[in-house]
């Protein structure tokens, strides 16, 4: 366990030395996260104001909230894992920990308003054998990073929805870790809108006999960018991971959806399934998918991955058109249904997530963010 002060100090000395990333994502693109967007906010001073988010929550995390800060760190993010982690800890003023028992919990972060980098950090610890459902909602009006770490003790069962709404005009980074100890089980969902540059770096660690079913959904619009990474590392025998990500790129935006499924040498008789889909909706939209797999044992029960990038099916839109729907109505209907169907593995947090997804889609359409809806030429 490290103290927050020690981490801040280490972060301060490391962030100037460390690189954003050591290995390029691609020989041609180099990095899917445009790190230069973050670079200009490093070391920038200024005041930070925190506001209460709208809505009712059991726990409010931050200066406006009802959770006591903690000064000891027992999470899984290493301060030296890269420039982002180092700078995150360097700028971190308060660390919050919540021990969660069985039941339903709604958690939100206080909304930071600032032009300087703001770091948020929350660790959720789920008790052994408990069964809980948790919603975590983060909105920000500042550049910066938010770390959310979820530690499921042995046999714990969790349903988790994380809703992220960064400020479009600043770069944002999310470092999400889920650690599922022996025989634990999680159904999780992450939803994010995009920003100037939005990086969502999720890493799931699975111990023996644990199980994860995760879905992520990201929207990008205007000329904004989102890079959603879903890594799953299985280190326990008989673990199972079913992970899927969907990205929708409107206008001239970029959605990058990727993940690496690792089955380590010790994780014999494990299952990994990774599916990634990107829909190109705008005429200038771009989408990158990287479903990667690293299988370090020959004793694997099943390991599959797949990816696709395409426009909406012309046949489907034609069919809906023949039933009297306008092109805009058909497209919005298909996008809505596709988005909502990704929540099917949720139960108690489903309606909250559904409302948020619906709200953002409505905003996209009402504000006319996307001018070109269906396949070109229709």
Is residue 337 close enough to count as binding other proteins by CB under 8 A? no
To the nearest whole angstrom, how small is the minimum distance from the Cβ of residue 195 to other proteins? 21
Question: For residue 111, which phi and psi values (nearest 5 degrees)?
Answer: -90, 115
- Residue 28 as a binder of other proteins (CB under 8 A): the answer is yes
Instruction: Tell me: does residue 218 bind other proteins (CB under 8 A).
Output: no
Among positions 12, 64, 300, 340, the unique one binding other proteins when judged by CB under 8 A? 300
Secondary structure element (H or E) that encloses residue 140, with its range: none
CB 236 within 8 A of CB 209: yes
Burial (Cβ within 10 Å: 0-12, 13-18, ≥19) of residue 367:
exposed
In the complex, least distance from residue 275 CB atom to other proteins, rounded to whole angstroms = 10
Among positions 74, 101, 308, 351, the unique one binding other proteins when judged by CB under 8 A: 308
Distance CA(257)–CA(253), nearest Å, equals 13
Regarding 280 and contact with other proteins (CB under 8 A), the answer is yes
Quote the CA–CA distance of 361 and 373 in Å, as a whole number.
Answer: 13
Residue 325 burial by Cβ neighbours in a 10 Å radius (0-12, 13-18, 19+): middle
Residue 364 CB, nearest approach to other proteins (Å): 16
Let me know if 44 is exposed, middle or buried by CB neighbors in 10 A (0-12, 13-18, 19+).
exposed
Dihedral through CA 9, CA 124, CA 78, CA 271, nearest 10? 180
Q: How many residues does the chain have?
A: 378
Check residue 22 for interaction with other proteins (CB under 8 A): yes
12: helix, strand or coil: helix
R_g of the chain computed on alpha carbons: 20
Interface size with other proteins, residues (CB under 8 A): 44
285 counts as binding other proteins under rule CB under 8 A = yes
Q: Which residues pair with 150 in a beta bridge?
A: 124, 178
Q: Which residue lies nearer to other proteins by CB, 35 or 73?
A: 35
Q: Which lies closer to other proteins via its Cβ, residue 279 or residue 343?
A: 279
Span from 91-99, 132-140, 202-210, 274-282 in contact with other proteins (CB under 8 A): 274-282
Q: What is the Cα–Cα distance from 244 to 259, expressed in whole angstroms?
A: 9
Residue 326 touching other proteins (CB under 8 A)? no
Q: Shortest Cβ distance from residue 298 to other proteins (Å)? A: 4
Listed residue (223, 214, 170) closest to 190, CA to CA: 214
Closer to other proteins by CB, 25 or 93: give it: 25
Residue from 172, 210, 216, 309 touching other proteins (CB under 8 A): that is 309
Beta carbon of residue 107, minimum distance to other proteins (angstroms, whole number): 36
For residues 248 to 267, the per-residue mask of contacts with other proteins, x marking binding by CB under 8 A and - elsewhere, is: -x---------------x--
Of the candidate residues 52, 294, 358, 362, the single one contacting other proteins (CB under 8 A): 294
Rounded least distance, CB 1 to other proteins, Å: 32
Q: Please state, in angstroms and as integers, the Cα–Cα distance from residue 110 to each residue in 50, 61, 67, 122, 139, following that order.
A: 6, 6, 11, 12, 8
Q: Is 284 in the site for other proteins (CB under 8 A)?
A: yes
- For other proteins, which stretch binds (CB under 8 A), given 20-28, 52-60, 239-247, 354-362? 20-28
Q: Does 289 bind other proteins (CB under 8 A)?
A: yes
Near other proteins by CB under 8 A, which window of 10-18, 82-90, 275-283, 350-358?
Answer: 275-283
- Name the token pair of 209: 């006999």
* Positions in the binding site for other proteins (CB under 8 A): 22-29, 249, 265, 268, 278, 280-300, 303-311, 375-376
């Amino acid at each position: 366990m490290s103290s927050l002060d020690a981490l801040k100090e280490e972060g301060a000395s490391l962030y100037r030395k460390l690189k954003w990333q050591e290995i390029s994502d691609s020989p041609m693109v180099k990095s899917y996260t445009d790190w230069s967007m973050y670079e200009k906010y490093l070391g920038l001073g200024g005041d930070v104001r925190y506001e209460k988010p709208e809505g009712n929550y059991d726990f409010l995390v931050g200066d406006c909230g009802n959770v006591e800060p903690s000064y000891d760190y027992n999470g899984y993010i290493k301060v030296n894992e890269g420039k982002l982690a180092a700078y995150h800890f360097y700028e971190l003023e308060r660390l919050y920990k919540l021990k969660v028992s069985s039941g339903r919990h709604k958690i939100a972060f206080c909304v930071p308003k600032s032009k300087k980098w703001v770091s948020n950090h929350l660790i959720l610890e789920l008790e052994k054998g408990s069964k809980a459902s948790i919603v975590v909602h983060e909105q920000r009006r500042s550049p910066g990073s938010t770390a959310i770490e979820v530690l499921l003790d042995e046999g714990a069962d969790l349903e988790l929805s994380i809703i992220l709404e960064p400020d479009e005009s600043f770069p944002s980074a999310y470092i999400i870790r889920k650690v599922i100890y022996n025989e634990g089980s999680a159904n999780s969902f992450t939803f994010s809108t995009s920003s100037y540059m939005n990086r969502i770096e999720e890493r799931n660690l699975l111990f023996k006999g644990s199980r994860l079913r995760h879905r992520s959904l990201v929207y990008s619009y205007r000329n904004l960018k989102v890079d959603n990474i879903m890594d799953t590392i299985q280190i326990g025998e008989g673990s199972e991971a079913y992970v899927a990500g969907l990205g929708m790129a409107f206008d001239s935006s970029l959605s990058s959806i990727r993940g690496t499924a690792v089955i380590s040498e010790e994780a014999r008789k494990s299952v990994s399934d990774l599916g990634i889909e990107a829909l190109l909706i705008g005429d200038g939209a771009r989408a990158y998918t990287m479903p990667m797999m690293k299988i370090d044992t020959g004793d694997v029960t099943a390991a599959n991955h797949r990816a696709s990038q395409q426009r909406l099916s012309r046949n489907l839109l034609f069919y809906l058109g023949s039933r009297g729907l306008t092109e805009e109505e058909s497209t919005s209907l298909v996008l809505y249904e596709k988005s909502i169907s990704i929540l099917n593995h949720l139960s108690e947090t489903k309606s909250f997530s559904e409302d948020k997804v619906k709200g953002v889609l409505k905003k996209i359409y009402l504000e006319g963010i996307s001018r070109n809806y269906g396949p070109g030429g229709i």
